[in-house]
Amino acid sequence: MAQLRPQSTLARIFLLFVLLPHSSLTMAQAIDITDWPALEQQARGETVYFNAWGGEPRINSYLSWVGETLNQRFGINLQHVKVADIGEAVSKIVAERQAGNDTNGSIDLLWINGENFAALKENKLLFGPWAEEQPNFSLVNANRFPEMREDFTVPTDGLESPWTRAQLVFYHDSQWLAEPPQTIAAILDWSTSNPGEFTYPRPPAFLGSTFLKQAVLELSNKDPALFAPVTDNEFQRVTASLWDYLNALHPTLLRAGRYFPSSAAELRRLMGDGDISLALAFNPNEALLSVRTGELPESVRTYVLQGGTIGNVSFLAIPYNAQHKAAAMITANFLLSIEAQARASDPDHMGSTTVISIEDLDADTRWQFDVERSELAAATPEELSRKLQEPHPSWTPALERAWVQRYSAR
């Protein structure tokens, strides 16, 4: 508003000072992120347009519960804007910037991490810092878990608030495959002797890109160059073994590598139909949840590769031009609360992994996070502790582009 219509802003300030000299009302534009009760006051009655991937019904219904709760407690109207790819939301913010819409953005909160965050941060399209001012931020114990302040090695600088954890896991149908391969290299050996029983989502679908990153980490023996911004030379050097590997692997995949599923869910469907025997997921509970709903047969088991797998945190961010920043922050803080995180990690609801440091909770609250892991389809906590760090975000688009360049036109 300040840039577009200075007169009207001045007029509003004038009116506020002249007509309401003793009022507790603050100016609509002024946000004091340290004064949380004032923020709550300001947020009342606002609508938060929360752009988040809408492809998972479990997450959608969890967010409906969040909306109802926010409405009751804070008078905030949460609108889940379901996007097929959060890149659409990033594009939208750019289009608004392009049109000079610096104050009336259509997005208040978005679910991102990795290269999307890096792109928005680099172009200064995010509001903040605000995340570490949240009363609930301390629950994540960022001092013990540095990944709460680092998104794919890029410092979050308080521009985003942790929401959920994810880790790459593999799952197999024990009816067809009893002893699943335990390393990236073993997958090739097994697939060569059992062609057509494995595939992965095509990059840039994020699970497919994660598979590439997992493969390159393992094949390059966690080359340190992967954790710094990518350069042409390093890329050539580090990924050479990856391309050899994929060149050998692809002819052995489902449809001889002439077709790749578009998403994690399509991969899951191929598993459910018996097209494939081995698949991967980025939610450790995915197979467990899908067996419960009948999408996957009960013979499915989850496991983590011997040398560990990539794990990351996804975050919530507020665009620089969001219209309802106060309500967006209240929403993010609520999503980080023990109550909301406990429900999110419950397999009966969203079934994700919490970002809260459970060890720091006292026994009275900790029980809320006890998940029944006896089910066969789940990975064990011991397995899940074998975690690999994400490479620098610049590697993701580089790997994706190289993959597309090599394999998208066969």
| Residue 174 near another protein by CB under 8 A | no
Residues 188-217 that bind another protein (CB under 8 A): 196, 202, 204
| Residue 177 near another protein by CB under 8 A | no
Which stretch, 19-27, 128-136, 148-156, 291-299, contacts another protein (CB under 8 A)? 291-299
Binders of another protein: how many residues, by CB under 8 A? 69
Closest contact distance (angstroms) between CB of 29 and another protein is: 17
At position 294, the amino acid (one-letter code) is G
Which lies closer to another protein via its Cβ, residue 88 or residue 360?
Answer: 88
At position 83, the amino acid (one-letter code) is V
At position 133, the amino acid (one-letter code) is E
- In terms of Cα–Cα distance, which of 99, 102, 161, 96 is closest to 128? 161
Closest contact distance (angstroms) between CB of 134 and another protein is: 25
Residue with structure tokens 């006890």?
A: 370
Q: Are 281 and 271 in contact (CB under 8 A)?
A: no
| Residue 274 near another protein by CB under 8 A | yes
Closest contact distance (angstroms) between CB of 204 and another protein is: 8
| Residue 158 near another protein by CB under 8 A | no
Strands 109-112 and 47-53: parallel
The number of beta carbons lying within 10 Å of the beta carbon of residue 336 is: 24
Which stretch, 50-58, 305-313, 340-348, 376-384, contacts another protein (CB under 8 A)? 50-58
* Tokens found for residue 391: 């490479």
Q: Are 399 and 203 in contact (CB under 8 A)?
A: yes
What number of H helices and E strands is found in the chain? Answer: 15, 12
Q: Are 311 and 121 in contact (CB under 8 A)?
A: no
Which lies closer to another protein via its Cβ, residue 22 or residue 124?
Answer: 124
Q: Are 375 and 288 in contact (CB under 8 A)?
A: yes
Closest contact distance (angstroms) between CB of 403 and another protein is: 10
| Residue 61 near another protein by CB under 8 A | yes
Q: Are 80 and 63 in contact (CB under 8 A)?
A: yes
Which stretch, 38-46, 100-108, 179-187, 352-360, contacts another protein (CB under 8 A)? 100-108
Q: At what angle do helices 57-74 and 338-345 cross, to 10 degrees?
A: 160
Residues 306-365 that bind another protein (CB under 8 A): none
| Residue 115 near another protein by CB under 8 A | yes
CA distance 387 to 168: 9
Give 303's contacts (C-beta < 8 A, 6+ positions apart): 169, 170, 171, 172, 180, 182, 379, 383
Which lies closer to another protein via its Cβ, residue 183 or residue 408?
Answer: 408
Which lies closer to another protein via its Cβ, residue 209 or residue 341?
Answer: 209
Residues 73, 258, 339, 370: which binds another protein (CB under 8 A)? Answer: 258
Closest contact distance (angstroms) between CB of 272 and another protein is: 8
Which stretch, 20-28, 84-92, 153-161, 182-190, contacts another protein (CB under 8 A)? 84-92
| Residue 12 near another protein by CB under 8 A | no
**Can you name the residues that pair with 48 across neighbouring β-strands?**
78
* Tokens found for residue 326: 């106060």
CA-based R_g, the chain, Å: 23
Closest contact distance (angstroms) between CB of 144 and another protein is: 30
* Tokens found for residue 298: 């009960």
Which stretch, 141-149, 185-193, 273-281, 329-337, contacts another protein (CB under 8 A)? 273-281
Residues in contact with another protein by the rule CB under 8 A: 4, 49, 51, 53-57, 60-61, 64, 79, 81-92, 94-101, 104, 106, 115-116, 119, 123, 176, 196, 202, 204, 254-256, 258-260, 262-263, 265-266, 268-270, 273-275, 294-295, 297, 397, 404-410
